[in-house]
Amino acid sequence: MYTFNKKEYPCCTSLVMGIIGGKWKAVILYSLKYNTLRYNELRKMMPTATERTLSLQLKTLENDGIIKRKVYASKPPLKVEYSLTEFGKTLVPVIQSLVDWGNYVIENKLD
């Protein structure tokens, strides 16, 4: 068994999927691959994700140390930016591999 953030996983693969699995986490990570983005910018990239779902996914990724949230409260309106942490940047090759494989499936019409 492997433990990460007080959760147990039977193998390394399940640990990775526990961190990046789900419909929107990989999209969020891909969007933040080289960019720092505001919440609304992320929201526009995922128009079919509900605000609640996006907020929960961002919070989970932040709690796992994958992304960081920076709040600028100097003047209204409140400005919040998201970016990958150094730990999160280690996932870039994993996310890129998923993108490459998805492109392979699309190009070869494997359905």
Tens digits of per-residue pLDDT, 33-70? Answer: 999 999 999 999 999 999 999 999 999 999 999 999 99
| Secondary structure letter of residue 21 according to DSSP | -
Domain span at 24: 2-107
How many whole angstroms separate alpha carbon 8 and alpha carbon 83? 26
- Tokens 């970016």, residue located: 83
Taking CA 49 as the corner, what is the angle to CA 43 and CA 52, rounded to the nearest 5 degrees? 85
Q: Which of 111, 33, 39, 107 is nearest to 71 (CA)?
A: 39
Entry pTM:
0.86
72, 79 Cβ separation under 8 angstroms: yes
CATH number for the domain spanning 64: value is 1.10.10.10
